[in-house]
Amino acid sequence: MNSGKMGAAGLDQEIGYNPILTATVKNEQGVRDVGTLSEYSLQGSVKDEFVEDVKNRLRGLCDNVECEPFIDHEISYSLQSSSGNAVTMRVSRSLAQSKMPWQLKYVGALETGKNKSCLMRNQVTVGCSENVTSFLTELGFRADTEFLSKGYLYRKGRIKVVLSKLCKMKEPGQHQEQNLLPLTKSHLVEVSVTTLTGGEDPGPDLKHFAEMLKPQVKLTKVDHREIQSHTRPNF
Amino acid sequence: MNNDVQLAIEGQKECFIQEIALNGQETWIQPMSMSEQFTRATQRIDLFKELDGNETEVKKEAEASQSKAEPKENPWEEVRKNIIDALTEVRVLHDVLAVLNHNTNAAPPANPQQPGQPPQKILQLASISGPESSSSEQLRAASVAAKKKSFLLASKVIKEGAERLERSDKQPDFHQELQVLRQHYRLRRKGEKILGDLSFRTAGSSYPALGEFEVMRDADCSRENCPLKIRLPHELQNMAWLSIKLVRCDKNDSLKIDPTEQGSEEQTVSTYHHVISNKYKQKGYLEELRQAQHSLFTRELFSQLCREVSCYRPIVPLYMIGDHISTQIFPDTKLVIELCRKPFKAGDHMPFDRSAERRWFCLEQHLTKLLREHHVASKSCPAPHPTIATMGMTKKQRIAATKPYNLPRIERMKKTVPMIHKIIEAAKHAELLRRVEKELDSIAKEIAEPNIHIHWPIIQNPVHTSIKVHFSVAGYEMCTKQFGMHSMLLNVGIDGCTAIQRDGNIVELGTDTAELRRLIEGELLSLQVACLAGLVRIIDWTVLSSSKGCLLLAPPASSQSITGRVSVRTENRKIRVYIEEKTPSATLVSDLLTDPKWQVLTHTEWREVDWEKLAGANFVGKMDLMLSCLCKTVTDKVHKNP
């Protein structure tokens, strides 16, 4: 082929199996990026009555693309290690597009820092097949929580805006509309950017976006540990 | 004249029908008598409210009761008022009509009083035409006059409205102009200012340059009598456009920039100038905004190209100097992409450069299309399902997570072909196509016989074109059909052409068009020989053997011919015809071959025929004549079958 003659510089032919490295953010041709990814996010909530206002505001602020409705089913698994620390993994699958691979996500600890404008944590997200649940169970993980999240996805450049309502299923496995019970009377708004660790800080972009949403939603960096340290209600 | 008018009055019956009997008699609900009304009014008074002690309320109640009391005194007051108003209006109408029909000579006709009837007075009008005119004519005349008046009134109203509209058209209105502007660009209000956006951000572009303009009110209407003025950011005040050219250069001097090319504005070409801006004539501010938007797009395009040039390392080097990108695409041709700038003046027309190749405009359009595709792709990335997945991957990349792909395959998914690569390929194809076109044209002009028909496709691809070339001999087209139409498919690609012949042969040609010329010339020769082969079957000669470009013919069996066989060969790009002479049988050369039939191999003399001197339009025609002359008699077959 002609493109072969004029092809790009030869890529390193490494023979190594490293699926995590291939799950990278879109970038320009041929440049390999080696490194971990971190997630920068801000969260907030809005009452159900005011969701339409938020949606209209987001439609104006975000890219000129239709908002994408989604239904996700998320299960979190945890493994109690001998030292007492628990490792948590999240498995998420899409009910709207069931042919898409399931996602397995590990989230690291929150990076503390008073001067940080938003939450930052290391994360690893990979696509996987449907038997990931049995795989995790075999490893020793136990299912912790399970919920359904329904809502809309917006984007603005590299910022992902998720407006979702968390529901629980009355019976496990039944995810039809009539079997869902909303967990709260409000919607969760999460604004996040996933980039390489140590790269350019997307904090100011997120902060600016939060400012623009301020009349409707107050997006802050919520300290999860405070929430987690309270007694967890039984689902 | 007695002006008294007697009127018959009937009080407004507000009785409701209680029932209608079977014989049609209606029973009415009798209206309430005075005492009944009074009782009702007193029942409405709320004594408890009064006791609570609100003085104003008591007063209001008293007033209400008083107003209700009045109709008791004179129930006909309202009716009286209405009648008086009606009378006034009728009097006014009468006066108007009297004025219209004023005729001092006319006397009112006396109405003959019929005995037995009460004297009735009809409203008399002065007649128009004369004392003998009948009342019906008077009425008609009156109605005509009334209609005329009403038409006059209506026309006056319409004319006034039209004048108002005309007046408003001439005067420039800021808000009307703003409305026109809003139909083209997004405007928003920021404090006291009105700002507009002419960038391509909503279309998917992520170019960081500023694309905001400010709309200002111009009270003096300084330009073109327009109350609207636009203030553009500094960078967009200049016109910018891309100029793509293919120029000839020496084989070793790809880097040399011809000093005559630079700085001469007549040589730079752009579709924007030659096609678009010269056609449309819009309002001043719209034209300004359009050129600013085009400049912004061009700048983005050029910056994208420059970024790619710095990252991309092809085998043939790309040179980027200032606003100039150039590369050598063929040993003697180079591609030059240049960003040209010029201060913008509204209404300025660029001179049309007729020497510019139309294919250069196509390249520019192709580049614009590539950037637009880029925008659309960045906008239309599918959303991640489930939402925790990473953004920005195509569907194939997402599904690849569960497929057994190896690393090179996944890397290939991520690879995008840069725009500069695509435009270089398109430029190579354009240049190659131009050369092929020129060569085919010159061949067709030089060679009159046989005929060459070239079919070009209507819809073309930027990197591939298929051309169908047909050959035929004038007057003998039917002859070639037996062997299949002589044609050739020429696929022009990026680095060379491929010629596919009818018999399935594929010939690879390079960028030099002399090879194509050779090929076509060879094809023409074999065509003529093949056409002859088809012809001889018709005239009953036998084809003893044939191959591409060679033919051996034997005369028809049932006729006497002067000579023996005829041989046609192509040698050194020319056709040669040989005729076998029938020599008397000579002595046997060999003892082994005693059969006289073997004499054919050795005892024949072939004489060349200078066929060009024969009469006939083309080779086949000349051969036709020659072969028919070689036979002494026409065969019996022709006579037997009428």
Residues B264-292 pLDDT 10s:
444 455 666 655 555 556 677 888 888 88
Spell out which residues of chain B touch residue A73, defining contact as CB-CB under 8 Å: 386
- In three-state secondary structure terms, A76 is strand
The stretch A165-192 carries a mean pLDDT of 84
Residue ranges of alpha helices (H) inside B226-385 are: 271, 277-279, 284-311, 358-379
Specify if A19 maps to a domain: no
Q: Residue B198's closest CA among B300, B60, B85, B316?
A: B300
pLDDT, averaged across chain B: 78
pLDDT of residue A90: 92
Q: Which pLDDT tens digit goes with each residue over B392-424?
A: 888 888 888 888 999 898 888 888 888 999 999
Residue with tokens 């001998």: A82
**CB of B350 within 8 A of CB of B273?**
yes
- Residue B116 φ/ψ region, left for φ over 0, alpha for ψ in the -120 to 50 degree band, beta for the rest: left
Distances (CA, A) of B487 to A24, B479, B502: 53, 14, 6
pLDDT of residue B211: 84
Asked which of A122-136, B78-92, B425-439 is least confident by mean pLDDT, the reply is B78-92
Residue B443's pLDDT band, with cuts at 50, 70 and 90, is very high
Does A129 lie at the interface with B, CB-CB under 8 angstroms?
A: yes
Domain ranges in chain B?
172-251+282-346, 539-639
Interface size A-B, in CB pairs within 8 Å, comes to 118
Give the other-Cβ count within 10 Å of B157's Cβ.
Answer: 10
pTM, 2 dp: 0.68
Q: Residue B493's closest CA among B580, B583, B433?
A: B433
Q: What are phi and psi of B433, to 5 degrees?
A: -65, -40
Q: How far is CA B346 from the centre of its chain?
A: 26
Bridge-based pairing of strands B228-231 and B212-217 is: antiparallel
| Percent with pLDDT over 90 in chain A | 32
Bond before B208 cis per omega within 30 degrees: no
Q: Which two tokens stand for residue B592?
A: 């082994």
How many folded domains does chain A comprise? 1
Q: Residue A3's closest CA among B38, B95, B314?
A: B314
Does A34 lie at the interface with B, CB-CB under 8 angstroms?
A: no
pLDDT of residue B333: 87
The stretch B350-377 carries a mean pLDDT of 80
Task: Give the whole-angstrom CA distance, residue A41 versus residue A123.
Answer: 12
Q: Which of residues 55-74 of A touch B (CB under 8 A)?
A: 63-65, 68, 70, 72-74
Half-sphere exposure of A204 (CA within 13 A, CB side): 2
Task: Give the whole-angstrom CA distance, residue B271 versus residue B277.
Answer: 9
Q: Residue B609's closest CA among B594, B623, B599?
A: B623
Task: Give the whole-angstrom CA distance, residue B632 versus residue B611.
Answer: 20
pLDDT of residue B257: 52
Q: Does A235 have pLDDT greater than 70?
A: no
Which residue among B392, B401, B408 places its CB closest to the CB of A26?
A: B392
Does B387 lie at the interface with A, CB-CB under 8 angstroms?
A: yes
Asked which of A224-233, B61-70, B418-427 is least confident by mean pLDDT, the reply is B61-70
pLDDT of residue B560: 66
Max distance between CA atoms of chain B, in angstroms, equals 166
pLDDT of residue B314: 82
Residue B109's pLDDT band, with cuts at 50, 70 and 90, is very low
Q: Does A2 have pLDDT greater than 70?
A: no
Distances (CA, A) of B405 to A25, A93, B397, B400: 19, 22, 11, 7
- In three-state secondary structure terms, B359 is helix
More confident residue, A75 or B98: A75
Q: Does B14 have pLDDT greater than 70?
A: no
Does B110 lie at the interface with A, CB-CB under 8 angstroms?
A: no
Q: Residue A206's closest CA among A139, A157, A136, A172?
A: A157
ipTM of the complex, rounded to two decimals: 0.75
Task: Give the whole-angstrom CA distance, residue A72 versus residue A94.
Answer: 5
Residue with tokens 């696509």: A127
Q: What is the CATH number of the domain that holds A105?
A: 2.40.320.10
Residue with tokens 């696929």: B491
pLDDT of residue B263: 42
Q: Residue B239's closest CA among B287, B278, B306?
A: B287
Task: Give the whole-angstrom CA distance, residue B494 versus residue B616.
Answer: 43
**CB of A146 within 8 A of CB of A172?**
yes
DSSP letter for B403, please: S
Q: What are phi and psi of B578, to 5 degrees?
A: -125, 140
The stretch B529-549 carries a mean pLDDT of 85
Asked which of A120-129, B148-157, B338-347, B503-512 is least confident by mean pLDDT, the reply is B338-347
Amino acid at A174: Q
DSSP letter for B199, please: S
Asked which of B64-68, B85-89, B203-207, B225-229 is least confident by mean pLDDT, the reply is B64-68
| Percent with pLDDT over 70 in chain A | 78
The stretch B192-216 carries a mean pLDDT of 85
**Closest approach of chain B CAs to the CA of A92, in angstroms?**
6
Q: In chain A, whose CA is at the least distance from the CA of B419?
A: A29
**CB of B463 within 8 A of CB of B493?**
yes
**CB of B375 within 8 A of CB of B205?**
yes
What does the angle CA B82 – CA B85 – CA B86 come to, to the nearest 5 degrees? 85
pLDDT of residue B423: 92
Distances (CA, A) of B637 to B5, B557, B559, B563, B642: 124, 11, 10, 21, 9
pLDDT of residue B390: 84
Q: Which pLDDT tens digit goes with each residue over A197-229?
A: 877 888 888 888 999 888 888 888 777 767 767
Task: Give the whole-angstrom CA distance, residue B631 versus residue B642.
Answer: 21
Amino acid at B105: N
- In three-state secondary structure terms, B216 is strand
Q: Does A43 have pLDDT greater than 70?
A: yes
Q: Does B197 have pLDDT greater than 80?
A: yes
Does B56 lie at the interface with A, CB-CB under 8 angstroms?
A: no
pLDDT of residue B119: 39
Q: Does A145 have pLDDT greater than 50?
A: yes
The stretch B295-302 carries a mean pLDDT of 91
pLDDT of residue A19: 43
Q: Which two tokens stand for residue B171?
A: 């005067």
More confident residue, B396 or A233: B396
Q: Residue B529's closest CA among B491, B479, B563, B460?
A: B479
Specify if A235 maps to a domain: no
Residue B600's pLDDT band, with cuts at 50, 70 and 90, is low
The stretch A121-144 carries a mean pLDDT of 91
Beta bridge partners of B326: B319, B336
pLDDT of residue B634: 52
Spell out which residues of chain A touch residue B417, defining contact as CB-CB under 8 Å: 3
Q: Which pLDDT tens digit goes with each residue over A53-67?
A: 999 999 988 888 888
pLDDT of residue B259: 46
The stretch B479-495 carries a mean pLDDT of 79
Domain membership of residue A204 as a residue range: 35-229
Q: Does A191 have pLDDT greater than 80?
A: yes
Q: Residue A39's closest CA among A211, A190, A150, A215?
A: A190
What does the angle CA A129 – CA A135 – CA A138 come to, to the nearest 5 degrees? 170
Spell out which residues of chain A touch residue B400, defining contact as CB-CB under 8 Å: 127
Residue B465's pLDDT band, with cuts at 50, 70 and 90, is very high
Which residue among A2, A30, A129 places its CB closest to the CB of B425?
A: A2
Asked which of A43-47, B100-104, B609-613 is least confident by mean pLDDT, the reply is B100-104
Judged by CB atoms closer than 8 Å, whether chains meet at A8 and B415 is answered as: yes
pLDDT of residue B120: 40
Q: What share of chain B is helix, strand, coil (3-state, %, to 5)?
A: 45, 20, 40
Which residue among B383, B389, B425 places its CB closest to the CB of A127?
A: B389
Q: Does A173 have pLDDT greater than 80?
A: no
Q: Does B635 have pLDDT greater than 70?
A: no
The stretch B376-380 carries a mean pLDDT of 83
